[in-house]
């Protein structure tokens, strides 16, 4: 067993016992259960869950992650004072944060559906929802880990975490809308696609809406999206973009961590 797995094991053991993490799982459980009961329709419940997942998963992953890792600073020092390699330690810290959050999300969202049951199409869309949430978790914990090792000052780090979330949730879309409005005389379908790849939450949103036949509501642009995402190249580009969104902060984080002074 190498250092990465060992660090991951103990950090995850600590994180799964965190009250905030347990509260996160319970929150998703209550919301999902509530939506299932009120709507009485698993697909409608999932559509409502799309917005909640896109809003909340990045926020919790980046803010909880940053705060958790600032609190783990002395823990990092303790580990690094042992005969371990920093690159692997970083991987262990990242995954030890990501896996408990992912677990809480999957249990919180999945358990009510598992109890109530749904049809084949419902399971398919639920899988898409879970998978998207997992990818967003991986991306935003990667950003959290990068922020926590990069910023010495925890208040600045927390500010950066919230800023990243705000930027990708609100500001980016406003910026895209501005461009679309300014160039509305031109065909912008492909430009929109390109801009979308720059924001993982936008990718997640479109991928999910297409699962729910939401493309019908998006007019010609929706048709272009549907054609793009249905094709093999669309899948490749999407997977590549999301992979880059995970890999870039991880690679940068490892780089910073290897030179970091404790």
116 near other proteins (CB under 8 A) = no
156 near other proteins (CB under 8 A) = no
79 near other proteins (CB under 8 A) = yes
84 near other proteins (CB under 8 A) = yes
Shorter beta-carbon distance to other proteins: residue 49 or 254? 254
Quote the CA–CA distance of 25 and 29 in Å, as a whole number: 6
The binder of other proteins chosen from 4, 11, 63, 254 (CB under 8 A)? 11
15 near other proteins (CB under 8 A) = yes
Concatenated DSSP letters for 228-256?
HHHSHHHHHHHHHHHHHHHHHHHHHHHHH
69 near other proteins (CB under 8 A) = no
17 near other proteins (CB under 8 A) = yes
216 near other proteins (CB under 8 A) = no
Residue 159 CB, shortest distance to other proteins, in Å, is: 20
Contact 108, 24 (CB under 8 A): yes
Which residue from 56, 32, 53 is spatially nearest to 44, judged by alpha carbons? 32
Residue 154 CB, shortest distance to other proteins, in Å, is: 13
Contact 169, 198 (CB under 8 A): no
Residue 108 CB, shortest distance to other proteins, in Å, is: 19
Cβ neighbours around 40 below 10 Å, total = 10
Shorter beta-carbon distance to other proteins: residue 30 or 78? 78
Residue 105 CB, shortest distance to other proteins, in Å, is: 19
Shorter beta-carbon distance to other proteins: residue 71 or 243? 71
Where would I find the beta strands (DSSP E) of the chain?
none
Which residue from 147, 154, 98, 164 is spatially nearest to 256, judged by alpha carbons? 147
Residue 123 CB, shortest distance to other proteins, in Å, is: 34
Sign of CA dihedral 86, 87, 92, 94: positive
Give the H/E segment covering residue 64.
Answer: helix 42-71
In the block, tokens 């408990």 appear at: 100
Quote the CA–CA distance of 115 and 46 in Å, as a whole number: 15
98 near other proteins (CB under 8 A) = no
77 near other proteins (CB under 8 A) = yes
Shorter beta-carbon distance to other proteins: residue 70 or 105? 70
Interaction site with other proteins (CB under 8 A): 1, 3, 6-7, 9-11, 13-15, 17-18, 71-75, 77-86, 259-262
């Amino acid at each position: 067993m190498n250092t990465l797995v060992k660090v991951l094991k103990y950090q995850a053991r600590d994180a799964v016992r965190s009250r905030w993490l347990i509260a996160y799982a319970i929150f998703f459980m209550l919301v999902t259960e509530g939506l299932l009961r009120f709507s009485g329709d698993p697909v409608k419940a999932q559509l409502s869950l799309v917005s909640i997942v896109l809003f909340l998963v990045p926020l919790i992953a980046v803010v909880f992650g940053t705060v958790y890792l600032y609190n783990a600073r002395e823990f990092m020092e303790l580990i690094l004072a042992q005969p371990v390699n920093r690159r692997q330690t970083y991987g262990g810290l990242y995954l030890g944060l990501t896996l408990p959050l992912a677990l809480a999300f999957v249990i919180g969202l999945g358990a009510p559906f598992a109890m109530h049951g749904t049809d084949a199409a419902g399971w398919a869309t639920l899988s898409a929802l879970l998978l998207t949430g997992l990818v967003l978790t991986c991306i935003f914990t990667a950003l959290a880990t990068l922020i926590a090792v990069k910023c010495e000052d925890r208040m600045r780090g927390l500010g950066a975490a919230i800023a990243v979330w705000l930027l990708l949730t609100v500001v980016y879309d406003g910026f895209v809308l501005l461009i679309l409005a300014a160039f509305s005389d031109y065909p912008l379908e492909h430009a929109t696609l390109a801009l979308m790849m720059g924001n993982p939450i936008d990718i997640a949103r479109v991928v999910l809406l297409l699962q729910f036949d939401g493309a019908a509501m998006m007019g010609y642009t929706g048709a272009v999206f549907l054609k793009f995402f249905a094709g093999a190249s669309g899948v490749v580009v999407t997977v590549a973009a999301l992979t880059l969104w995970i890999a870039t902060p991880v690679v940068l984080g490892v780089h910073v961590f290897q030179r970091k002074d404790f």
